[in-house]
Amino acid sequence: MLKKIIGIGITGIVVLVTIALLFSNNSIEDPEPFVKGDVIMPTKVSRPGCKETDRCYVPSLIVIEKGKQVTWVNEDSAFHSITSGFYDEPTDLFDSGHLDPFESYTLTFDETGTYDYFCTLHPWMKGQVIVE
């Protein structure tokens, strides 16, 4: 009788430890999904200072081969956009709309050329993609 109770007790502990290990492993194997960007919008670019240090979009100039993609990631806590053209002269080639913090936007460039873009919310944020 006593052996049986001890046996059940040990089995219970083993089961509990196994469950605990399964849960802890899951949290290690399942990190937050995070997209690695080619161009980052770093923190605090919603203030004009980033223009002076050329850190509104990092890098503000990216050169890629024809047919390749560029992914932008908003690492700031404010909304930003990737919109073709210039603030006072937008074009309708592409527009990400307002990107939430940590949201990303990916574009494929199938034609060579120089693509200027800006942020519709912050006139000082400018970038350029050159497709060769």
- Interface positions with Cu ion (CB under 5 A): 80, 119, 121-122, 125
The residue with its CB nearest to Cu ion is 119
Q: Which CB atom, from 122 or from 126, has the smaller least distance to Cu ion?
A: 122
Q: Which CB atom, from 56 or from 62, has the smaller least distance to Cu ion?
A: 56
Q: Which residue has the tokens 């890098």?
A: 59
Q: Which helix (H) or strand (E) holds 8?
A: helix 2-29
Query: Is 117 in contact with 82 (CB distance < 8 Å)?
Result: yes
Min dist CB 64 to Cu ion, Å, is 22
Q: Which CB atom, from 20 or from 86, has the smaller least distance to Cu ion?
A: 86
Min dist CB 79 to Cu ion, Å, is 7
Instruction: Give SS3 for 100.
Output: coil
Q: Determine the Cα–Cα distance for residues 6 and 111; give it in Å rounded to an integer.
A: 73
